[in-house]
Structure 1
Amino acid sequence: MAPITEEEIANYLANTPDFFERHANLLAAVQLSSPHGHRAVSLQERQAVLLREKIRALELKAADMIRHGTENSAIADKLQRWTRELLRTREARDLPAVATRAIATQFLVPQVAIKVWGVSPEHAHEPFAQGASDDVVALVSSLTRPYCGANPGLEAVQWLDDPAAAASIALIPLREGAGPQAFGLLVLASGDAQRFVSDMGTDFLERIGEFASAALSRLRP
């Protein structure tokens, strides 16, 4: 007769839940190695340890979710205040300066720059309408979502006051509707290499791009 295998024992115990009710003394008698040392502990103590570890993991996960919720709420409030600044701006020509200044203030971004192209003739000589080459225009139109990451030395980074201090950047394309052609670019930069990283979520940056695009469309014909 073949010996009983560990798998058969495990299956029997799993399918016979009242086994330990009939043999309650085994719960105290069975000795297992402790996960926190080499001493032997009872099955009950081992289960209690595992349960405490699961509870601790759930507590940490809940705390992390609360923290992220609080951070997202704070960002949403800042986004609302920034949007309000755009809505309160009467002169269209003032919008690029208001948008960049408010981003720097509300989101504590050290450097912010903006360029808009294809503007109406009355805005063609404004500083924000100058300096975007055909290469930049093509690059921005190829972006389907904001670019975040290290500073690769792109031409658009030169729009910043101190390009050499930009350790990480975010490039936010400006578009009207869902069309592929972009009409502008927001450049955010930080001296902190971890401020804008390639695997970060871009939901709020996309919202900034949408609101800025809607406001700055007033500069176009």
Structure 2
Amino acid sequence: MTEEDVVQYLQETPGFFERHPALLETLTIPHPVHGGAISLLERQVALLRKSTSDYRGEFERLVAIARENEAIMKKSRRLILKCLSCESLDDFAGIVEEVMREDFSIQYQSMVLFADQALDTSIRTASWEAAEPILKEMLVQSGCYCGVLSVAESEFLFEGQSDAVMSSAILPLVSLEGGKVVYHGVLALGSSRLNHFDKEKGALFLDYLSDLLSALLLRLLP
């Protein structure tokens, strides 16, 4: 009888060790770490302990993510409710700045609205013709942009604070008109940490926030 015959027999007879439990204590295999011999039963126990530990770690990771998402949704709810009470663009910008700073711990932020004519607001404005050549590479991507800005992009968005900004999240403020995306502005969030904004981790929330702020802004635009 060859080893292959034994393997095939055990595969075809899954109840073999249930009928011969004593064999589990006498069979030995190499220890996975120090190489010494251990019983098959000890090996199974070790594998079960490892699986239990892995499942526990995954469960704890999922619980942490759930708690983080719950906290984010509570902060987003506060932002929505406060912005719904806004009666002017300045109110809107002030609330966004406050919530981003206090609830989301954003170090640097800048809101720029695109307008060809003067708006009744202290929010910085720029014509789309002036902004588009600088921001087009960033805005051409779908959804929000996360990462490092070029010198021109950073200086345009953050002005005097641009040297301190190491990573950014750029949220387009848009509407859909006639099947085309119209840019009304951007909200730029910055951090002094290089990898603070993670597209893979926070893409869904950033896109949600961009859609939310866009809808709230449109209520206030002339």
Instruction: Give the TM-score of the pair, scaled to structure 1.
Output: 0.86
How far apart, CA to CA, are the structure 1 residues paired with 2:79 and 2:155? Answer: 23
Please report the RMSD computed on the Cα atoms of aligned residues, expressed in angstroms. Answer: 2.4
Identify the residue that residue 212 of structure 1 maps to in structure 2. 213
Once the two structures are superposed, what CA deviation does each residue of 1:88-136 show, in whole Å capped at 9, x if it has no partner?
21223432233233212221100010111137x5617744223752314
Distance 1:72 1:157 in 2: 32
2:147 to 130, 146, 149: 149
Secondary structure in 1 aligned to 2:35? coil
- Residue 74 of structure 1 and its aligned partner are, at CA, apart by 0.7
2:138 and 2:145 in contact (8 A); partners too: no
| SS at 2:168 equivalent | strand
1:130 to 126, 130, 149: 126
Task: Using the TM superposition, give the Cα deviation of residue 5 of structure 1 relative to its aligned residue in structure 2, in angstroms.
Answer: 4.1
Partner of 1:89: 86
The alignment-based identity, stated in percent, is: 25
Q: Which residue of 2 aligns with 1:118?
A: 115
* Aligned 8 A contact 1:176 1:182 in 2: yes
Q: Structure 1: how far apart are the matches of 2:125 and 2:220?
A: 10
In 1, Cα distance between the equivalents of 2:41 and 2:132?
71
- Counterpart amino acid of 2:184? F
Task: Give the drift of 1:27.
Answer: 1.1
Paired residues, what number? 217
Matched, 1:16 2:17: no
Q: Is the 8 A contact 1:156 1:187 kept in 2?
A: no
| TM-score for both structures, normalised by structure 2 | 0.86
Q: Is the 8 A contact 1:168 1:194 kept in 2?
A: yes
Q: Distance in 2 between matches of 1:70 and 1:152?
A: 35
Does 1:69 pair with 2:69?
no
SS across alignment from 1:187: strand
